[in-house]
Amino acid sequence: MKQILFSISYPIRLWRCLKSWQQVILGLILGALFGLVFKSSAEFLKPFGDLFINGINMIVMPLVFIAIVSAITSVSDGNKMRRVGLRAIALYAMTMVLAAIIGISVAAVVHPGAGLAYAHQLQQVPELHHIKWQNFISQLIPANPLKAFVDGNILQVIVFAILLGIALKQAGEKAAPVVNFFQSFTHVVFRLAGIVISFAPYGVFALSAWVFQPIRLRSVMVVGEAGFCCLPRLHFTYGDCLWRWLESHADEASRLL
């Protein structure tokens, strides 16, 4: 009886010993094998993968908003906050330019997506419209912040968070209860994000099993080629910092539960 219990509990203990990013990679591989072996029977796993994706989408807006407001209100030196903000904007602009150069160069050489049949979808492609810079500037500040959250307009949410953080700093002591609320709510949102991220291996397994069915294998290979083209941009733009950040936050999220 003890041997049976040991044989059952050993894989569970081995799974818990793995780091979070290792669990995600293992879930991806196992899900791919599951989809290739069981084929259409793996279709029932897709709702579980959709739950994970919905959970990620659920925490993005609150996480960005709360993090920006808390970061601005936690900086006591106004000059330091101004310097950090200008450096962040400059870094963001440089990474956008570098990402565009790398993306155009790689796409011109590799031609990602070649081989997929899009003829039956051409009628569904909407007509492209040129965006005027006047319209872009005028839409930076949301007329309705709640609508920006609902529509998922991340740029308007960021601008609203920055303005709210600056207003709280200028309000001084009278805004202390609101500042304390945002500081406390930050821990709650990060804990919620940790809970969602802790299910990443299982969500990746479900999505991988659904995607890697033989009928979708050709599409997966083409999409994988396109994803591989993103690696140069990640490497040259962020370097080793991205992978260290992902590993540290994944391990932190695994400890939250």
Q: Is 212 helix (H, G, I), strand (E, B) or coil?
A: coil
Joined together, the tokens standing for residue 10 give: 């050993």
Is this prediction's pTM over 0.95?
Answer: no
Interatomic CA distance for residues 96 and 90, integer angstroms: 10
Q: For residues 149 and 58, what is the distance between their CA atoms, to the nearest angstrom?
A: 11
**pLDDT in tens for each of the 257 residues of the chain?**
556 655 666 667 777 777 777 888 888 888 888 888 887 787 888 889 899 999 988 888 898 899 889 888 887 776 777 777 778 778 777 877 877 787 778 777 776 666 555 544 545 555 656 667 777 788 888 888 899 888 888 888 988 998 998 899 888 888 889 989 988 998 899 899 889 888 888 998 998 888 877 655 555 665 565 566 666 655 555 555 555 555 555 454 444 43
CB atoms within 10 A of CB 65: 23
Q: Is 253 within 8 Å of 198 (Cβ atoms)?
A: yes
